[in-house]
């Protein structure tokens, strides 16, 4: 699925989050934007039956994918032939002829900034209207007008979500592939073990972010859940740097000496030499013994190049500048983590 056009009402802005199998597009509505919303009664509409709507045109490929709404556990078709017809707030799944899930829309909500502290007690579900006209497909995502105007003062987040191809991530350690070894990404060195680096890539090209978009801010976030000392290491803080990768690699094939089976890195563990990866880092972050928590690397400039297609997206490599010093290795959840998928790596783009 690719979003072709997105229309927002005034004073609203986009926040994109690239995750494992999803692209989250959150609409941020400031208090000034709420104050400037037109009154529906001026157009002969009742306030309690009006919605603030995000409208988008989308292209579905391949065309033979089927779509279902999840209603009370059952799958209800919402696409007949090439035409969509859906109005509701249920999750939607897109499958191929073999019933393999390609992507999905989960049930989505609008909430106020800071609502997580109250368990999102004031959130409201979003309503979707999906239809086809003239051979094109459209989706309207609406949040009740009365909820927008009646919520406590402050910024609101309207959270429609689309799904994209899986990102790739793996850590490099010695001469074996770590893809299936665990649901973690490791960086640094535990006492008595080889050093570890992580490579990670998000599918920007398939995300639906328009290539003409201006990236105001992009943060790569990994959930730092633990660290390991190999049984004897002493804690040392580690600066972890993110460098742009310049060559292709495969999650299931990459090891410390090879990026693809039979194709070596120019330098083992990814050379920071402007051949395997840029010698200059994009972002650096100090990791201390303060897990669990999110850690964030600023990839604004690089993400802009990926979005505008002025740089090929091979992802980034993460390494600790004192990786030759035994201590603890740093551990982050990977895209294979299943206990809580919200803790998988993500790229938040505004």
- Per-residue burial over 88-120, b if 16 or more Cβ lie within 10 Å, else e, is bebebbbbeeeeeebbbbeebbbbbeebeeeee
Residue 183, class by beta-carbon neighbours within 10 Å (0-12 exposed, 13-18 middle, 19+ buried)?
middle
**What strands lie across the sheet with 316-320, from one edge to the other?**
176-177, 168-173, 197-201, 316-320, 238-244, 283-287
pLDDT 10s digits, 214-273: 777 788 989 999 999 998 889 999 999 999 999 999 999 999 999 999 999 999 999 999
Is 144 found in the same domain as 219? no
Residues 220 and 284 in one domain: yes
- Contacts of residue 288, defined as CB under 8 A and 6 or more positions apart, other chains included, come to 237
The domain boundary, picked from 162, 195, 217, lies at 162
What are the tokens at 290? 């303060």
Q: Are residues 22 and 73 in the same domain?
A: yes
Do 240 and 309 sit in the same domain of this protein?
A: yes
| Total number of domains in the chain | 2
Question: Are residues 175 and 107 part of one domain?
Answer: no
Question: Domain check: are 122 and 248 in the same one?
Answer: no
Residue where one domain finishes, among candidates 132, 162, 192: 162
Neighbours of 217 (CB within 10 A): 12
| Tokens describing residue 90 | 């249920």
The pLDDT score that the predictor gives to residue 315 is: 96
Report the distance separating Cα 296 and Cα 223, nearest Å: 9
Q: Which domain holds residue 291?
A: 168-349
Q: Which of 139, 162, 185 is the last residue of a domain?
A: 162
Give the end-to-end CA distance of the chain in Å, rounded to a whole number: 20
CB 181 within 8 A of CB 329: no
Please tell me the pTM assigned to this model. Answer: 0.63
Q: Are residues 106 and 180 in the same domain?
A: no
* Residue 327 main-chain phi, psi, to 5 deg: 180, -115
pLDDT at 164: 35
Q: Are strands 92-95 and 101-105 parallel, antiparallel or unpaired?
A: antiparallel
Same domain, 67 and 115: yes
Residues of the chain where predicted confidence (pLDDT) is lower than 50: 4-5, 20-22, 117, 161-166
Q: State residue 4's pLDDT score.
A: 45
Do 141 and 260 share a domain, yes or no? no
Q: Are residues 127 and 172 in the same domain?
A: no
Same domain, 204 and 243: yes
pLDDT of residue 70: 78
Q: Mapping DSSP to helix (H, G, I), strand (E, B) and coil, where does residue 302 land?
A: helix
Same domain, 153 and 175: no
- Dist. CA 149–CA 144, nearest whole Å: 9
pLDDT (0 to 100) of residue 7? 55
């Amino acid at each position: 699925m690719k979003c072709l056009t997105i229309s927002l009402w005034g004073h609203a802005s986009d926040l994109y989050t690239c995750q494992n199998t999803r692209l989250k597009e959150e609409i941020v509505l400031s208090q000034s934007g709420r104050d400037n919303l037109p009154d529906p009664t001026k157009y002969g509409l009742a306030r309690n039956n009006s919605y603030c709507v995000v409208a988008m045109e989308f292209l579905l490929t391949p065309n033979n994918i089927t779509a279902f709404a999840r209603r009370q556990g059952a799958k209800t078709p919402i696409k007949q032939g090439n035409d969509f017809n859906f109005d509701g707030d249920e999750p939607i799944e897109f499958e191929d002829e073999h019933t393999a899930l390609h992507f999905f829309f989960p049930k989505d909500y609008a909430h106020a900034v800071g609502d997580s502290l109250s368990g999102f007690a004031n959130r409201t579900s979003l309503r979707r209207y999906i239809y086809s006209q003239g051979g094109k497909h459209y989706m309207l995502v609406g949040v009740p007008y009365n909820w927008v105007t009646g919520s406590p003062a402050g910024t609101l987040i309207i959270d429609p979500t689309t799904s994209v191809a899986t990102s790739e991530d793996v850590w490099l350690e010695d001469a074996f592939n770590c893809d299936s070894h665990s649901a973690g990404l490791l960086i640094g060195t535990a006492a008595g073990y080889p050093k570890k680096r992580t490579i990670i890539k998000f599918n920007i090209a398939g995300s639906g972010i328009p290539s003409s978009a201006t990236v105001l801010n992009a943060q790569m976030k990994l959930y730092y859940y633990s660290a390991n000392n190999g049984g004897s290491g002493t804690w040392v803080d580690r600066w972890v740097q993110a460098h742009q990768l310049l060559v292709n690699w495969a999650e299931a094939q990459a090891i410390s000496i090879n990026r693809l089976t039979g194709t070596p890195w120019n330098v083992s563990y990814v050379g920071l030499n402007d051949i395997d990866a840029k010698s200059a880092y994009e972002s650096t972050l100090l990791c201390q013994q303060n897990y669990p928590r999110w850690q964030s690397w600023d990839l604004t400039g690089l993400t802009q190049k990926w979005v505008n297609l002025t740089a090929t997206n091979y992802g980034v490599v993460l390494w600790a500048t004192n990786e030759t010093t035994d201590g603890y290795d740093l551990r982050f959840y990977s895209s294979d983590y299943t206990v809580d998928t919200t803790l998988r790596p993500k790229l938040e783009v505004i």
